[in-house]
Chains A and B, each alone.
Chain A
Amino acid sequence: MAVLVIADRDGNTVRDTTHKTVTAALKLSGDVDILVIGQGSKAAADAAAKIAGVRKVLLAESAGLGHQLAEAVEATVVGLAGGYDAILSPATTDGKNFMPRIAAKLDVAPISDIVEVVSPDTFTRPIYAGNALETIQTSDAKKVITVRPTAFDAAGEGGSASVETVTGADAGKSAFVSEEMVKSDRPELGAAKIVVSGGRALGSAEEFHAVMDPLADKLGAAVGASRAAVDAGYAPNDYQVGQTGKVVAPALYIAIGISGAIQHLAGMKDSKIIVAINKDADAPIFQVADYGWVADYKTAVPELMKALG
């Protein structure tokens, strides 16, 4: 049984979501290859070849693959699928976009967002916004799976796999127009060791940034937000932590002025340590917090800044 992992490429390297997906893949088989997709991805393929436990790296380049367009990725992967019993990708927005398309072309029932490999044909995944976990067994000979990265440890470095070039397909009926990526000196929300998140209690976009940004900078943290804060316009869309936003699992998650709606908890409850600061002692966030501080953020955050030195 051989497994193909589709890498989450980031310029000249691959994101650690790739390493985490390799960990899941190694639970299926010892024969794990990585496919790196995109124009000018040789350096990223070389980086993927260093991931421990990888047999070989396939590099597919074409103009259409530069932006991971679903149609081009599907045509490329379907062309390679004959050699594999399972195809895995991290459950990023890219993976969620192209994996079901690949599955349909292969006549396979896709398995989305797994958090556990029970056996090579049985997996556990969250349903109902994380309020239930289902364990499912597939009867498909070939498997197409997306992996929730926060549920797996990252595979280490130290591999020395070979890199082979394979044919990359073009996009056909869809075309890339533009992209607008948020630039920030802070760590990426999904990968940060510490996340500080603000909620609707902050009351305005100015207050949100005035309170959250200095604290994040002091801690070297990424900034997140609840959906309520995003919907109110206090924080941009890509800050959103929750079932409808990003799922994070940092070592330390500090929730400030967040009540803890179910959909927010689904996005952060796997964090190692959760701190909640909220003036409402009955806020549901305290039920999941390791350290709860019933206080107004207006006094608590400045005190915390001072205590951090």
Chain B
Amino acid sequence: MKVLVPVKRVIDYNVKARVKADQTGVDLANVKMSMNPFDEIAVEEAVRLKEGKEHHAAGTASEIVVVSIGVTQAQETIRTALAMGADRGLLIQSDADLEPLAVARLLKAVVDEEKPDLVLMGKQSIDGDNNAVGQMLAALLDWPQATFAGKLVIADGKATVTREVDGGLQTVAATLPAVVTVDLRLNTPRYASLPNIMKAKKKEIAVKAVADYGVDTAPRLKVLKVTEPPKRAGGIKVTDAADLVAKLKTAGVL
């Protein structure tokens, strides 16, 4: 089974995003960038499918292709995935910040070319927080989708996915080929070992341009402004329970 894993280069999750003074966006100059954490989990699961770790049979995945759409430096993100155990990479170079619909269309073109049996990807990127590309890719391909995976089992031509939903867990079975988007608790991604980092340097990364795919990536949305959320003023300190309860009663919440 061939697995395609789309990955995105985003602001590191430990860095606090700062809004630019001119309200045009978030300041990413000299900010640490990393692989989107949900995508890292998708790469890890794909590698486990290949290695036969946890409940997966060895060789469930035969080849893992990693694709990223973004700036030249996104090659580093692909390289990280290769060091974790993916086989080869593809960068579709774009300096524009593409919308989910455009990304889904480009990924569909990649799927048409690569013909994977499974697309495994993060449920959302931690910059735009749209939580949309996986579902949109599934729709464009007319494939079934299983989102927010907390557990994945591949057997009998199906992806059986336990989904993290409001109020509990839901298990669905999607006939392959399918798109599965992953949630935080699916696994804990590994750190690449030094020998694997060295090996990854020899793995192939093909570089293409958005124009090579001939799909419409024109934006539909115009960002009018990006602002800081309203700040909550810190309140007052209390030193005993009776005082706290009295204040909460006055505020009308008890």
Contacts and interface: CB of A to CB of B under 8 A. Distances in A.
B21 interface: no
Contact of B165 (A93, A125, A133, A178): A93
Given A111-B221, A303-B240, A179 B171 contact: yes
A130 B26 CA distance: 12
B171 A178 contact: yes
Given A128-B11, A135-B223, A244-B184, A252 B171 contact: no
Interface stretch (B46-54, B200-208, B246-254): B246-254
A39 interface: no
Contact of A97 (B147, B175, B254): B147
B33 interface: no
A141 B104 CA distance: 20
Which of B128, B130, B160, B219 has the largest number of chain A CB atoms within 10 A?
A: B130
B164 A100 contact: no
A71 B184 contact: no
A93 B148 contact: yes
B248 A252 contact: yes
Given A132-B228, A174-B145, A104 B139 contact: yes
A246 B165 CA distance: 10
Contacts of B234: 286-289, 292
B198 interface: no
A273 B232 CA distance: 11
Contact of A135 (B225, B236, B241): B225
Given A101-B135, A177-B160, A293-B238, A132 B244 contact: no
A77 B175 CA distance: 22
A135 B169 CA distance: 33
Interface string A117-147: 0000010011111111111111110000000
Chain A, interface SS category: mixed
A58 interface: no
A128 B126 contact: yes
A133 B220 contact: no
Given A109-B100, A290-B235, A292-B237, A101 B139 contact: yes
A262 B13 CA distance: 10
Contacts of A104: 101, 104, 135-137, 139-140
Interface string A173-206: 1111111111000001010001000000000000
Nearest to A244: B184
A252 B250 CA distance: 13
Contacts of B134: 100
Contacts of A97: 135, 145, 147-148
B238 A291 contact: yes
Interface string A233-248: 0000110000110100
Nearest to B240: A303
Nearest to B135: A100
Given A94-B165, A177-B173, A307-B245, A103 B136 contact: yes
A290 B166 CA distance: 29
B129 to A, nearest CB: 5
B183 to A, nearest CB: 8
Interface of A: 67, 69-71, 74, 92-94, 96-105, 107-113, 122, 125-140, 172-182, 188, 190, 194, 219, 237-238, 243-244, 246, 251-252, 262, 269, 272-275, 286-295, 300, 303-304, 306-308
Q: Which 8 A-B pairs have CB atoms at the shortest separation, nearest pair first?
A: A104-B139, A290-B235, A307-B241, A128-B17, A100-B132, A104-B136, A174-B144, A109-B220
Interface of B: 11, 16-19, 26, 99-101, 104, 126-140, 143-148, 150, 160, 163-175, 178, 184-185, 219-229, 232, 234-242, 244-245, 247-248, 251, 253-254
